[in-house]
């Protein structure tokens, strides 16, 4: 009797769930598929709602790591994942992106004697002060198989001479967006609930540690959002980390709520519909800048660097350091390139990754 190979996915944060949604069905068809959720995003709105909306069944294991410093989270994942890995004995452990869950999962797998595959390998911002940059570099140099979303990410891995096998697969975010965009249009009522007209508002998301934990930078970002809101409504879903810092510093009270619409963290379908009907996007998120690019939205990245430099070169993404006195009118007048290239892939990355895994492991 044929026994399926066993694949174990480790996730734990919003970006991980979206990537898992792209591969879950095909992984579960071709493999015995075990899902471990670290609980890195312990807030329901940032966690379980993504499983619900993206039709991913409940994980097989939940570690309940919760909040804490980077070292605490990674340490707890290492400690708790080891027992599961030794019990399940997977043929391969798959980690996604650059979160602490991805790094903790990769380290736990390697230390327990199992091979690692990295979905979204090879991205580089070349800023080692960014925790995600440290995570992704370490994961890439530990991985047996590296699934790179773009040609630029392949070149980064070749330049670093990683020991694992490199595969150009396309970006799994394309798969998810193409699948769920039409569903979001029919099921989400977010525009009606917020009384918004299509094309008459800007989306803003801020959550990166370098922006949130630096009070001066966060203050400048709030000032920037307030200035822009004088010209156009701004919809601002607040990440739990951002909300806590805004409350602790008193900056939450400084937000001009006349034209800045503050919301709790949104489910994927609501977020996708808001993004599609926005005029443009202000963010520091790697995932959001890709989704905005796919939806052809001019995007301002409130960072000095980005791991998706190809989107900047394509003329659809503009880097903007909030430490610089930025003129809001310049942001509002940013016009993207008239050309929109197929940089991120064809929407079949998940199927491609699964077939490579099956072929290589056999």
Catalytically active residues, by annotation: 207
CB 20 within 8 A of CB 11: yes
232 strand-pairing partners: none
CA torsion sign, 224 to 246 to 272 to 7?
Answer: positive
Instruction: Tell me the C-alpha distance between 91 and 9, whole Å.
Output: 11
What three-state secondary structure class fits 203? strand
Instruction: Tell me the C-alpha distance between 112 and 311, whole Å.
Output: 38
Instruction: Tell me the C-alpha distance between 276 and 199, whole Å.
Output: 9
DSSP structural state of residue 127: -
E runs forming strands in the chain:
6-11, 32-37, 61-62, 92-96, 116-119, 145-148, 165-168, 201-205, 233-237, 260-263, 280-283, 299-301, 317-319
Instruction: Tell me the C-alpha distance between 206 and 40, whole Å.
Output: 18
152-174 burial: b if 16+ Cβ within 10 Å, else e: bbbebbeeeebebebbbbbbbbb
Instruction: Tell me the C-alpha distance between 279 and 105, whole Å.
Output: 38
Tokens of 246: 């805004």
Q: What's the first-to-final CA gap in the chain, in angstroms?
A: 16
CB 264 within 8 A of CB 238: yes
């Amino acid at each position: 009797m044929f026994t399926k190979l066993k694949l174990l996915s480790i996730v734990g944060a919003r970006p991980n769930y979206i990537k898992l949604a792209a591969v879950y069905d095909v992984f579960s068809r071709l493999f015995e598929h075990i899902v471990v959720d670290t609980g890195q995003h312990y807030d329901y709105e940032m966690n379980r709602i993504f499983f619900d909306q993206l039709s991913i069944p409940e994980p097989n294991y939940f570690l309940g790591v919760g909040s804490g410093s980077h070292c605490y989270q990674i340490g707890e994942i290492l400690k708790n994942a080891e027992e599961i890995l030794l019990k399940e004995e997977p043929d391969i452990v798959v980690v996604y992106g650059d979160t602490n869950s991805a790094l903790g999962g990769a380290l736990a797998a390697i230390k327990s004697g199992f091979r690692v595959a990295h979905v979204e390998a090879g991205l580089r911002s070349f800023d080692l002060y960014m925790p995600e940059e440290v995570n992704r570099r370490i994961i890439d140099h530990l991985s047996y198989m590296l699934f790179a979303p773009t040609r630029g990410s392949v070149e980064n891995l070749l330049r670093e001479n990683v020991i694992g096998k490199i595969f150009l697969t396309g970006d799994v975010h394309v798969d998810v967006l193409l699948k769920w965009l039409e569903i979001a249009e029919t099921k989400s009522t977010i525009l009606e609930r917020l009384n918004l007209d299509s094309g008459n508002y800007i989306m803003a998301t801020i959550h990166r540690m370098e922006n949130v934990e630096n009070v001066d930078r966060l203050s400048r970002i709030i000032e920037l959002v307030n200035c822009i809101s004088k010209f156009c409504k701004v919809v601002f879903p607040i990440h739990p980390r951002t909300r806590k810092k805004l409350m602790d510093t008193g900056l939450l009270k400084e937000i001009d709520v006349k034209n800045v619409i503050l919301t709790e963290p949104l489910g994927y379908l609501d977020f996708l519909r808001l993004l599609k009907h926005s005029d443009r996007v202000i963010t520091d998120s790697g995932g959001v800048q890709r989704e905005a690019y796919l939806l052809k939205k001019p995007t301002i990245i409130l960072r000095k660097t980005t791991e998706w430099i190809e989107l900047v070169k394509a003329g659809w993404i503009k880097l903007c350091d909030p430490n610089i006195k930025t003129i809001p009118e310049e942001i509002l007048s940013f016009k993207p390139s008239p050309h929109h290239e197929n940089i991120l892939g064809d929407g079949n990355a998940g199927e491609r990754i699964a077939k490579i895994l099956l072929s290589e492991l056999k």
